[in-house]
Amino acid sequence: MIKNAVMIIAFNGFRDEEYDTPKKILEKSGTKVTTASTQTGNATGKLGMTAKVDIALKDIKVSDYDSIIFIGGPGSYDLFDDPLTQGIARETVKQNKILAAICAAPGILAKAGLLKGKKTTCFSGVSYLLVKNGANYTGSGLEVDGKIITADGPKHAKQFGEAIVAG
Of 92, 90, 77, 95, the closest CA to residue 38 belongs to 77
pLDDT score recorded for residue 38: 97
Q: Amino acid identity, residue 79?
A: L
The C-alpha angle with vertex 163 and arms to 65 and 15, in degrees rounded to 5, equals 80
Output the pLDDT for position 79: 96
Tell me the mean pLDDT in the region 138-164: 98
Q: What is the pLDDT of residue 6?
A: 98
Would you mind telling me the total number of residues written for the chain in this entry? 167
In tens, the pLDDT along 134-150 reads: 999 999 999 999 999 99
Residue 134: alpha-carbon gap to chain centroid: 19
pLDDT per position as a tens digit, 59-92: 999 999 999 999 999 999 999 999 999 999 999 9
User: What would the 3-class secondary structure string for 34-92 be?
Assistant: EEEECCCEEEEECCCCEEEECEEHHHCCHHHCCEEEECCCHHHHHHCCCHHHHHHHHHH
Q: Is the pLDDT of residue 1 over 90?
A: no
pLDDT of residue 18: 98
Name the percent of the chain lying above pLDDT 90: 98
Query: Would you state the pLDDT for residue 144?
Result: 98
